[in-house]
């Protein structure tokens, strides 16, 4: 008894250990795990599906410590899902993992079979991130933790999320070592908000893709770009050591459309653009995905205050003349061209004007007057 007491102090519940079978009885087997005492293992744990004992004295096995009270009690099948009610209770008290199969979706969660017993797993406990399609888990075999054990095992509540989060905490420090500015990583979208999306980079470490970093074109609805559970590749933009916040980007993995603006556009050029949004001072016009120009209110036909905006609609297309290009600030000034005569006048002006950029947001009427004046020889 003294030897057994000393031996149990060497082990903790939940610990996985190796041992050698030294005796097989009608109900239990004795396992030598080192020291003077032996651990006890139910004989059923050594039987195959047909009920035949598949081990012999001298065989090495691996098992989990489920109890240290009055000696060591081991289990091999908690994870394999063939545990008895007593073993399930031991697993509950020790916080040991058990294996279960998700049978079907029920109100509020799932019905899970654990050791031939029915258990309940709430939706919130099936994963560490929100599940878009609950049916994806049906039929899957997972490892769970028993979080409620009542009525002798007839009322079981299990959680897969608890085990996932524990594993995440253990690996978080290692994951953070790989998160450096400029690194390209693969992660899973954890949630989508109006301001962006949180991405799980592993071990529960999350970063944020702000809506402004999702695409070179303006993104108004992040849910149209990514969805929860989706695997995506991102670039690390910033890592704040004090707050542990991680800023991620999607658009940085594609070419910046502004890199070709200098060779694609020139002052005086007439282009077709799409109105993306209206402001008090003018209209933003998309010339190509990721490249927007601003048509200042002063470039529209004279009228009452804000009257110019009534003639425009978001997503409407129109013809615009480029007035200025600032590559450093990524700004393009444009002005509307309303008819063919004005279009031709602007083209003529473009051919005459010097290569130096024109003043930003000047009146189109001034341009046209200059374009239509007789040439000075």
CATH 2.40.50.140 residue spans of the chain:
2-76, 92-164, 178-253, 258-372
pLDDT at 373 (0 to 100): 46
The fold adopted by the segment(s) 92-164 is OB fold (Dihydrolipoamide Acetyltransferase, E2P) (2.40.50)
The fold adopted by the segment(s) 178-253 is OB fold (Dihydrolipoamide Acetyltransferase, E2P) (2.40.50)
pLDDT at 59 (0 to 100): 92
pTM strictly above 0.75: no
The fold adopted by the segment(s) 2-76 is OB fold (Dihydrolipoamide Acetyltransferase, E2P) (2.40.50)
Query: CATH assignment of 258-372, given 3.30.160.270, 2.70.50.60, 2.40.50.140, 3.30.2320.80?
Result: 2.40.50.140
pLDDT at 93 (0 to 100): 83
pLDDT at 15 (0 to 100): 79
Q: Count CB neighbours of 193 within 10 A.
A: 11
pLDDT at 6 (0 to 100): 47
pLDDT at 368 (0 to 100): 47
pLDDT in tens, the chain (377 residues): 445 544 555 787 777 788 999 999 999 999 998 866 789 998 988 887 678 898 999 999 888 888 888 788 888 766 555 566 777 887 888 788 888 999 999 999 999 999 788 999 999 999 987 787 899 999 999 989 999 998 877 899 999 999 888 878 777 878 888 899 999 999 999 999 999 999 999 888 999 999 999 999 989 999 999 999 899 999 999 999 888 899 999 999 999 999 999 999 999 999 999 999 999 899 999 999 999 999 999 888 776 567 788 878 999 999 999 999 999 999 999 999 976 555 566 566 656 654 445 444 444 445 544 444 444 44
pLDDT at 374 (0 to 100): 45
pLDDT at 86 (0 to 100): 75
């Amino acid at each position: 008894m003294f030897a057994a007491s000393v031996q149990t102090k060497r082990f903790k519940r939940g610990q996985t250990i190796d041992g050698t079978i030294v005796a097989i009885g009608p109900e239990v087997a004795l396992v030598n795990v080192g020291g003077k005492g032996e651990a006890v293992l139910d004989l059923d744990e050594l039987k195959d599906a047909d009920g035949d004992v598949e081990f012999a004295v001298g065989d090495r096995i691996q098992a989990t410590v489920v109890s240290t009270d009055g000696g060591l009690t081991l289990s091999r099948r908690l994870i394999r899902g063939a545990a008895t009610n007593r073993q399930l209770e031991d697993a509950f008290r020790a916080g040991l993992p058990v294996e279960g199969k998700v049978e079907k979706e029920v109100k509020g969660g799932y019905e899970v079979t654990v050791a031939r017993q029915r258990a309940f797993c709430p939706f919130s406990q099936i994963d560490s991130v929100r599940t878009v399609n609950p049916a994806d888990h049906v039929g899957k075999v997972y490892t769970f933790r028993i979080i409620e054990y009542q009525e002798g095992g007839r009322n079981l509540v299990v959680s897969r999320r608890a085990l996932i989060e524990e594993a995440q905490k253990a690996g978080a420090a290692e994951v953070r070592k790989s998160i450096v500015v400029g690194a390209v990583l693969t992660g899973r979208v954890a949630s989508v908000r109006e301001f962006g999306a949180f991405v799980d980079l592993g071990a529960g470490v999350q970063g944020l893709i702000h809506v402004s970093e999702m695409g070179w074109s303006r993104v108004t609805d992040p849910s149209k770009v990514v969805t929860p559970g989706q695997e995506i590749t991102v670039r690390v933009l910033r890592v704040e050591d004090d707050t542990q916040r991680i800023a991620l980007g999607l658009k940085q993995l594609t070419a910046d459309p502004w890199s070709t603006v200098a060779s694609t556009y020139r002052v005086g050029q007439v282009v077709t653009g799409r109105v993306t949004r209206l402001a008090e001072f003018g209209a933003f016009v998309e010339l190509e995905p990721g490249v927007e120009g601003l048509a200042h209110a002063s470039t529209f036909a004279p009228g009452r205050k804000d009257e110019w905006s009534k003639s425009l609609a978001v997503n409407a297309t129109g013809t615009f003349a480029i007035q200025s290009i600032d590559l450093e600030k990524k700004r393009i000034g444009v002005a509307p061209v309303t008819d063919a005569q004005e279009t031709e006048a602007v083209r003529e002006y473009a051919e005459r004007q010097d290569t130096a950029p024109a003043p930003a947001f000047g009146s189109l009427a001034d341009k046209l007057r200059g374009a239509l004046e007789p040439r000075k020889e």
